[in-house]
């Protein structure tokens, strides 16, 4: 082979190698667009979506669940993502820890939420990856919403019926079905209705707890019917006072996300 032929052969081989490398990187990129964040073989994940109208305490609930009052989202965008790692100890399954991914959407427009959810699917290794969402926490509250951030509310003798009606109006049958449309089965494993801020009720006791549950029966009924085959529970608690936070965290720790949709 003459010099020109040899150089041409080398150039062709290098071109083929570069093209192969590029194709492998492209395949990796495409795979990233189809998967949630990777975890180790001795870990699992739980991707959690929190929804609720303004002022119910979604962010406060996340900070209570992570035991980090200064927690800041991992990413800046329409959805605020918080990652928290929980050690599980020596389980028979060999799983040592779980990665909890909390997705908080700060705005209240349901149509916009769904649109932003679709845009998130373009992000590589998105915690909100469709087909991998595992838990839904719907947060409502029992007192009037704050007029400005940081406003301190005085305690009330009873829960606000108007606030209950505001939550029920927002979370009707159609909106619940729309939110659950972001999930797939069997990846959806847990749904919680968290009724927040009961610590602000001076006369809170078992009788009032039953009254609050009865006031939320339409919402509880809708969620129960929609969560057929999925673990559902209603917790009355307080993110500010750690009421029922332990129970909610234990439920989230028990969810095992899957690697394939």
Take residue 73 and report the two structure tokens written for it: 């989202």
Order of strands, sheet of 80-87, starting from the edge strand that comes earlier in the sequence: 80-87, 97-104, 43-51, 135-141, 190-196, 231-236
pLDDT, the chain, mean:
84
pLDDT tens digits, one per residue of 223-257 = 999 888 899 999 999 999 999 999 999 999 999 88
**Which pLDDT score is estimated for 22?**
54
Residue 206, CA atoms < 13 Å, CB-side half-sphere? 0
pLDDT of 24 reads 56
Residues near 239 by Cβ (< 8 Å), separated by ≥ 6? 57, 60, 61, 63, 64, 196, 197, 245
Looking at mean pLDDT, say which of 104-113, 121-130, 174-183 comes out highest. 174-183
Does residue 32 surpass a pLDDT of 80?
no
Read off the pLDDT band of 99 (50, 70, 90): very high
**Is the pLDDT at 201 greater than 90, yes or no?**
yes
- Would you state the pLDDT for residue 76? 60
d(CA 246, CA 211): 23
Compute φ and ψ for 83, nearest 5 degrees.
-105, 135
Q: Which residue has the higher pLDDT, 150 or 1?
A: 150
Domains of the chain, with CATH numbers?
Answer: 33-253 (3.40.50.300)
The confidence score (pLDDT) of residue 10 equals: 46
| pTM for this prediction | 0.84
> What is the per-residue pLDDT for 2?
62
Find the helix or strand (DSSP H, E) in which 231 lies: strand 231-236
Q: What pLDDT score does 226 carry? A: 85
> For the CA atoms of 150, 50, 105, 221, what is the dihedral angle to 10 degrees?
-100
Question: Are the beta carbons of 69 and 63 closer than 8 angstroms?
Answer: yes
According to the model, what pLDDT value does residue 68 have? 78
What mean pLDDT comes out for the span 181-200? Answer: 94
Whether 11 shows a pLDDT value over 80: the answer reads no
d(CA 13, CA 30): 26
Which pLDDT band, with edges at 50, 70 and 90, does 198 fall under?
Answer: very high
pLDDT > 90? residue 62: yes
List of residues 6+ apart from 25 with CB closer than 8 A: none
The residue behind tokens 């599980």 is 88
The least confident of 80-84, 155-159, 226-230 is 226-230
Which residues, 6+ apart, have CB-to-CB distance to 183 below 8 Å?
133, 136
18 pLDDT more than 60: no
pLDDT (mean) for 201-217: 95
For residues 117-144, average pLDDT:
89
Looking at residue 110, its pLDDT comes to 82
């Amino acid at each position: 082979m003459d010099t020109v032929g040899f150089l041409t052969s080398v150039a062709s081989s290098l071109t083929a190698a570069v093209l192969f490398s590029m194709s492998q990187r492209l395949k990796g990129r495409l795979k990233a667009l189809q998967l949630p964040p990777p975890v180790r073989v001795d870990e699992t994940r739980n991707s959690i979506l929190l929804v609720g109208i303004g002022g119910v305490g979604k962010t406060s609930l996340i900070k209570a669940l992570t035991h980090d009052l200064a927690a800041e989202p991992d990413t800046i965008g329409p959805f605020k993502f918080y990652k928290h790692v929980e050690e599980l100890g020596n389980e028979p399954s060999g799983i040592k820890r779980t990665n909890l991914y909390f997705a908080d959407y700060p705005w209240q427009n349901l149509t916009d939420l769904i649109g932003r959810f679709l845009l998130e699917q373009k992000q590589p290794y998105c915690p909100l990856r469709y087909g991998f969402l595992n838990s839904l926490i719907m947060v409502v509250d029992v007192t009037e919403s704050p007029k400005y951030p940081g406003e301190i509310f005085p305690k009330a003798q009873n829960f606000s019926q108007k606030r209950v009606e505001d939550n029920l109006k927002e979370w009707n049958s159609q909106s619940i079905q729309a939110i659950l449309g972001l999930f797939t089965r069997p990846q959806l494993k847990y749904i919680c209705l968290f009724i927040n801020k009961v610590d602000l009720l001076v006369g809170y006791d078992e009788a009032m707890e039953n009254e609050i549950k009865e006031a939320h029966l339409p919402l509880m009924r809708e969620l129960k019917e929609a969560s057929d085959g999925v673990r559902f529970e209603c917790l009355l608690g307080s993110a500010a006072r750690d009421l029922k936070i332990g129970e909610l965290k234990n439920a989230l720790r028990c969810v095992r996300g899957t690697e394939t949709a």
